[in-house]
Amino acid sequence: DGGITQSPKYLFRKEGQNVTLSCEQNLNHDAMYWYRQDPGQGLRLIYYSQIVNDFQKGDIAEGYSVSREKKESFPLTVTSAQKNPTAFYLCASGVGASSSYEQYFGPGTRLTVT
């Protein structure tokens, strides 16, 4: 089945620890995105990548880091510098290289930091 996988579904961490969220796609899409969703709000872009070994900051990149070593994979690290990391994180891949094309989303990872 083609799609996007994110693991784990729920993640719990202590404050001060870095944590990496995984995102894998087998849709052969060039573009991949990470979004953050807070309760009752829309999605905000953290980082995006249009091609392997290249990525760009979104609206709220501070406290996050990414890598894109393979086309299929776009892991997101939430660092201890992120002041309010508890949120729902969604990964997406895009049909085309720009955001003007539809995106397909994974099931999300709900991160809780205490």
Scanning residues 30 to 89, which ones bind other proteins (CB under 8 A)?
31, 33, 40-45, 48, 50, 56, 58-59, 88
CA distances, 37 to each of 60, 71, 89 (Å): 11, 24, 6
Least distance to other proteins, CB of residue 101, Å: 7
Least distance to other proteins, CB of residue 75, Å: 18
Q: Does the protein bind other proteins through residue 101 (CB under 8 A)?
A: yes
Task: Answer for the pair 79, 66: CB distance below 8 angstroms, yes or no.
Answer: no
107 — alpha (psi -120 to 50), left (phi > 0) or beta? alpha
Among 30, 52, 73, 104, binds other proteins (CB under 8 A): 104
Rg over CA atoms, the chain: 13
Residues at the interface with other proteins (CB under 8 A): 31, 33, 40-45, 48, 50, 56, 58-59, 88, 90, 92, 98-108, 110
